[in-house]
């Protein structure tokens, strides 16, 4: 999919009637457009950056296509834009119908939701998907009952299942998701780890090795201790 260059007038027309979902000191980051569409804007933060070679909006679109091919629900990308007057690139996509797990965690069945999340994480890891931005705000409980992903620009794909080190590091990303990870941190590691190990097709020895590795992660334990201190 090629990027379309937007003039200032075309950009203003595109976001007319839209609502700001997220902004920072540099300006709007995400617009919610009419008819359940989103416009996510990206800026290149450093002069020497891989994003200048492979811009984030293209990564988002390519990752969405690849995840969809392996059966992971993702937003449907509709257009890519270059917005010169803002020094931004953008991706327009149709929203994935559902609710973020950070909202679902506010309900009564927290442990059941954690179990589903653990099974989903195991599926991603076995398929070689390393989603560095994973946290309960970026995982959706879709209207059809499946779990899906949003905010797709920071994903790496491996040829085979992830190594133990990457799996544990991904747990750390999951639990460290700021306010989004608060409920998970309050529950501790065990509920998610137990369901994760039930979901992977490993023998008992392999599971025991991974359990020890996850439980001995200093970075992961520091997150959990900070939440309960």
Range of the domain at 87: 3-94
- Among 40, 74, 94, where does a domain finish? 94
Do 124 and 222 have their domain in common? yes
Instruction: Tell me which residue has tokens 């990206």.
Output: 42
Q: Could you tell me if 42 and 112 lie in one domain?
A: no
| Higher pLDDT pick, 184 / 40 | 40
pLDDT at 52 over 80: no
Please tell me whether residues 48 and 102 are part of one structural domain.
Answer: no
What angle do helix axes 110-126 and 190-199 make, rounded to 10 degrees? 50
Where residue 48 falls among pLDDT bands split at 50, 70, 90? very low
Q: What are 141-155's pLDDT values in tens digits?
A: 999 999 999 999 999
116-133 mean pLDDT: 96
pLDDT at 179: 81
Beta bridge partners of 38: 32, 93
Angle, vertex CA 198, rays to CA 192 and CA 204, nearest 5? 120
Regarding whether 108 and 197 lie in a shared domain, the answer is yes
* Domain identity same for 74 and 61: yes
């Amino acid at each position: 999919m090629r990027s379309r260059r937007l003039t200032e007038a075309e950009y203003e027309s595109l976001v007319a009637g839209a609502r700001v979902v997220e902004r920072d000191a540099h300006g709007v980051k995400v617009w919610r457009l009419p008819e359940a569409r989103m416009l996510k804007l990206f800026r290149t933060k450093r002069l020497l950056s891989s994003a200048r070679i492979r811009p984030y909006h293209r990564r988002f679109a390519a990752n969405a296509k690849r995840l969809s091919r392996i059966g992971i629900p993702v937003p449907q990308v509709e257009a890519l834009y270059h917005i010169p007057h803002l020094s931004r690139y953008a991706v327009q996509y149709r929203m994935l119908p559902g609710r973020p797990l950070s909202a679902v965690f506010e309900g009564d069945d927290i442990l059941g939701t954690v179990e589903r999340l653990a099974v989903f994480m195991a599926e991603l890891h076995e398929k070689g998907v390393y989603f560095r931005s994973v946290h309960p705000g970026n995982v959706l409980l879709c209207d059809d009952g499946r779990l899906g992903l949003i905010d797709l620009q920071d994903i790496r794909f491996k040829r085979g299942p992830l190594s133990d080190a990457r799996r544990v590091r991904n747990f750390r990303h999951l639990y460290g998701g700021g306010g989004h990870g608060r409920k998970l941190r309050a529950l501790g590691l065990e509920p998610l780890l137990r369901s994760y190990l039930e979901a992977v097709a490993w023998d008992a020895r392999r599971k025991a090795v991974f359990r020890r590795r996850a439980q001995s992660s200093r970075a992961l334990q520091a997150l959990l201790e900070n939440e309960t201190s």
